[in-house]
Amino acid sequence: MHAFILQSSFVHKSALQGARRCERLRKNSLLRVPRRPRVVCLAPSAPNVQRLIDPALFSTAFGATAKLLTTVFFGFLASTKGVLNPAALKVLSRVVYTMFLPALLLTNVATTIASGAGPQLLVLPIAALLMIIFGLLAGVMLARVLRLKPVEKRLFIVCCGFGNSAALPLLLAGSLFEAPAQLAGLTAGVSFYLLGWTGVFWSLGYHLLATIPSSNSSDGGDEKQGGFDVKTLLTRVFSPPLVASLVGIAVGCLPTPLRAVAMSSPVFAALRTLGQGYGPTAILVLAGSLAGRVPRESNANGETIRLMRVCTGIAVTRFMLMPCIGTALVRTGAFANPMAKLAVLLEASMPPAQNSTVILAMEGRSDLAAALARVLLIMYVVGTVPMCLLLSVFLGVAGI
């Protein structure tokens, strides 16, 4: 009997402990917040991509790029068939440089300043200097990483620091906008950017290209001395496009009565008509120069240019690093005008300057000019895809 009582109390105590344990587990399960399963996203979602690249803006950018490339193709075809021979290209280049481009810049700068948007563009020359500095620094650092030879290094640094700041942005502007006000605003933005870019290119850029070390100088110590004096330097810095932009600023800043007389005069109307010839002529010159100066081998100073290594570094700088720097500059708040923002962003995503081959040709470095022409051809062909994508993003960043 005593054993039965002990067994019953033991069972009762065990049941009571089990009930308490169940009650404690139930309360813990009620208080505990269920954890959501972790989901690993292997690809960006469609809404995120749509926020980054607006389909409408991409369509506009693709249409403008396709229009430009198609026109360049016809010029390229005409050059390969002999219609645009070197003599014709030389004449067209001189006409564009001394007549069409200055007329376009003068009229658009004067029109933009007369509309009251001039003070908002004064920051663009400073932006041009900053972009050149960042590009040159990126070129110096990447040249060390890529272990480029002295000849490759100098060409590489110039291509990273100086983009096509006149012809290609203006051609894209003509393909993007048909409204006269928008086209004039973007053209004026590019013109103000050139105020800071032109002087640095024809001084520092000229020196970097004219003093490229010769083939027997492995350490870069034996360099060719650039043979231009102060008068020649001033002539190249104060080029017809730069002088035309300065004249356009002066016309736009005239008192209202005098400005109205000047901008309604037959001279101003004639200059506006001449400016309309810049687009098709510049496209022909761009296509012909890329088609006519490309050698089969990329040799410079007796050394072979490693095109894959050089072009990869230039592409990383011009189509990745510089667009990021341009976007950072635009987001500082120093640019109130949407067209000024777009001008900076366009300049940040352009391939290397085509005038670099002109400098080498003027210095008698035909081997370097031919090697650089091959690099430029690759960059202009490869750069069409990133330029189109970047343009679609930049239209949204600029708020257009």
What mean pLDDT is predicted for residues 61-81?
77
- pLDDT of 392 reads 86
Q: For residue 151, what are the CA distances in angstroms to 217, 222, 224, 286? A: 9, 12, 12, 25
Taking 50 as the threshold, does the pLDDT of residue 330 lie above it? yes
CA 324 to chain centre: 10
What mean pLDDT is predicted for residues 302-319?
86
- pLDDT tens by residue, 92-124: 878 888 888 889 888 888 888 888 877 888 899
Mean per-residue pLDDT over the chain, rounded: 78
Q: Could you give the CA distance from residue 211 to residue 225 in angstroms, rounded to a whole number?
A: 5
What mean pLDDT is predicted for residues 144-168?
91
Choose between 95 and 53: higher pLDDT.
95
DSSP string, 111-171: HHHHTT-GGGGTTHHHHHHHHHHHHHHHHHHHHHHHT--HHHHHHHHHHHH-B--SHHHHH
Among 145-159, 216-230, 346-360, the range of highest mean pLDDT = 145-159
pLDDT-derived band of residue 20, with 50, 70 and 90 as boundaries? Answer: low
- pLDDT tens by residue, 21-35: 656 655 555 444 445
Rounded to 5°, angle at Cα 82 from 80 and 87: 115
Angle between helices 322-330 and 124-146 (to 10 degrees): 150
| Residue % of the chain over a pLDDT of 90 | 22
Copy the structure tokens of residue 285. Answer: 């010159």
What mean pLDDT is predicted for residues 260-289?
85
Domains in the chain, please, with CATH?
A: 57-397 (1.20.1530)
- pLDDT of 36 reads 47
Taking 80 as the threshold, does the pLDDT of residue 11 lie above it? no
Asked if residue 347 lies in contact with residue 131, where contact means CB atoms within 8 angstroms, the answer is: yes
- pLDDT tens by residue, 338-378: 989 999 999 999 999 888 887 887 777 777 877 888 888 88
- pLDDT tens by residue, 166-220: 878 888 888 788 788 888 888 888 888 988 898 888 888 888 888 887 654 444 4
Q: Who's near 350: CB < 8 A, 6+ residues apart?
A: 163, 164, 165, 168, 169, 318, 387
pLDDT-derived band of residue 5, with 50, 70 and 90 as boundaries? Answer: very low
- pLDDT of 25 reads 54
What mean pLDDT is predicted for residues 126-148?
95
Choose between 43 and 86: higher pLDDT.
86
